[in-house]
Structure 1
Amino acid sequence: MSDEADHIAERKMQFLFSLRSRGVTDARVLTAMERIDRGPFVRGYFTDHAYEDMPLPIACGQTISQPSVVGLMTQALRVTGRDKVLEVGTGSGYQAAILSQLARRVYTVDRHRRLVREASEIFAALGLTNIIALTADGSFGLPEQAPFDRIIVTAAAEDPPGPLLAQLKIGGIMVVPVGQSDAVQHLIRVTRHETGYDYDELRPVRFVPLVEGLGRDG
């Protein structure tokens, strides 16, 4: 093995160790994050930081979340191999790629056409055939494919969006950051029951706001 390959292998080991130390303990989630290299989802100047536990800028004024947050959100979602998952906010595509290792099918939507196109190219290159990426206003979900077993939102809403709650199956789970965009947000897990919804507050987070409408390139 070359020195460069040794260096990358060591960084990946440190990457997985940092995930565990920050509370990502689910074996299936850790295996998915080991399989899916974050490197291809980070471009340009920031490629050297792909294996660090930090959020990084991507195109269209968006960010790729720090890996520990991706892991904790995925863990909170409790995805099974039978689940149909909706992700609102494709961004780099990294979160959808992780979910593709755990779910039967992943629908991911973003308001920026460029992000959907670039993420789709990475999915194709990695052979991830169970992801369907679409340009759409994610605040309204994807009613034509509803209901979903799991929904994950990677942008902050002031309240869990009503259209998304309505598209969750009975027994389904949604993980969403909730709060004002310029204040502390909290990661919330919503579980739908026959008679209503349960809300669990998981941890403080900071995400870009959930914006209605398509991006200028959408």
Structure 2
Amino acid sequence: MTNLSNLDLARANMIKQQIRTSNVTDDEVISVLSAVRREEFVPLADKALAFAELRIPLVEPAEEALRNGHCMLEPLIEARILQELRLKPTDKVLEVGAGSGYMAALLAQRAQRVITLELHPQLVELARANLQRAGVTNVEVRKADGCKGLPGEAPFDVIVLSGSVAEVPAALLSQLKIGGRLSAIVGFDPVMRGTLITRTGESTYTTAQPWDTVAPRLQNFPEPARFQF
């Protein structure tokens, strides 16, 4: 059986070999990744797999979970998102796609409040249980369709889409404060880009796409035609 010291070593190796070598060097991000025990959010017997650079299915059957996006993203993707967002202690955050609750736990380490939305009932309960067991008290898990955001709670300092979309809906962008940031993975397989959109005014935004990746789709988001003739 893997003991705690083995898991601590595996976490340290993940940060050293996967995260730091891929230009994630922000000390605050490294601190958060060290503090939150990723293995506690992984529903696997072999907890060491929590630190591998792979997607982890969260429900059965595993193949269907991976296909439908019911999985944890790779650690490097999560680390890159955290680094780009540059969270502040006063930030109010909306996450779409709670999954196991791990990303919400990371966000909660740096933000004041996190609301995370999840459609799959089993994952709603999993995320709530994981967060409670980890002692995270500033995250609220809601069963809801996140494609339209949460207008009743807007505006947000930060919105995180924990999965990929073909495009970011305007309804979500409108729920950002001026100066707020939205992180998403945008595009079509095999070319998607980590995207950071910052609201600079009432109707103005800037967009940066600093890294490439691939992630499963979030459910119910618009899927426009890939090609136009």
TM-score, shorter chain, exceeding 0.5: yes
Matched, 1:198 2:197: no
- Say which SS state the counterpart of residue 51 (structure 2) adopts: coil
* 8 Å CA contact 2:10, 2:48 repeated in 1: no
Deviation string, structure 1 residues 17-50 (Cα, Å, up to 9, x no partner): 1211122211111111111011011113553311
Ranges in structure 1 where 5+ consecutive residues have no aligned partner: 214-218
For residue 166 of structure 1, what is the aligned residue in structure 2? 174
For residue 187 of structure 1, what is the aligned residue in structure 2? 194
For residue 216 of structure 1, what is the aligned residue in structure 2? none
- Say which SS state the counterpart of residue 145 (structure 1) adopts: coil
Match of 2:159 among 132, 136, 151: 151
Give the C-alpha shift of residue 207 in structure 1.
Answer: 1.3
Deviation string, structure 1 residues 108-160 (Cα, Å, up to 9, x no partner): 00111211111101111111000011011110101111000001101211111
Alpha-carbon separation, structure 2, partners of 1:143 and 1:157? 19
Match of 1:177 among 165, 185, 196: 185
* TM-score normalised by length of structure 2: 0.87
Alpha-carbon separation, structure 1, partners of 2:47 and 2:129? 17
For residue 14 of structure 2, what is the aligned residue in structure 1? 15
Alpha-carbon separation, structure 2, partners of 1:8 and 1:88? 29
Alpha-carbon separation, structure 2, partners of 1:135 and 1:54? 26
Give the C-alpha shift of residue 86 in structure 1.
Answer: 0.6
Ranges in structure 2 where 5+ consecutive residues have no aligned partner: 222-229
- Say which SS state the counterpart of residue 194 (structure 2) adopts: strand
Matched, 1:66 2:74: yes
Instruction: Give the letter for the 1:56 counterpart.
Output: I
- Say which SS state the counterpart of residue 34 (structure 2) adopts: helix
Instruction: Give the letter for the 2:8 counterpart.
Output: A
* TM-score normalised by length of structure 1: 0.91
Alpha-carbon separation, structure 2, partners of 1:22 and 1:63? 22
* 8 Å CA contact 1:46, 1:56 repeated in 2: no
Alpha-carbon separation, structure 1, partners of 2:3 and 2:153? 44
Deviation string, structure 1 residues 149-175 (Cα, Å, up to 9, x no partner): 001101211111111101011110101
How many equivalent residue pairs? 210
Alpha-carbon separation, structure 2, partners of 1:153 and 1:46? 28
Q: Find runs of 4+ consecutive structure 1 residues off by over 6 angstroms.
A: none
Give the C-alpha shift of residue 8 in structure 1.
Answer: 2.5
Matched, 1:93 2:92: no
Alpha-carbon separation, structure 1, partners of 2:166 and 2:83? 23
* 8 Å CA contact 1:88, 1:108 repeated in 2: yes
The percentage of counterpart residues that share the same residue type is 32
- Say which SS state the counterpart of residue 209 (structure 1) adopts: coil
Matched, 1:78 2:77: no
Matched, 1:115 2:123: yes
Instruction: Give the letter for the 1:55 counterpart.
Output: R
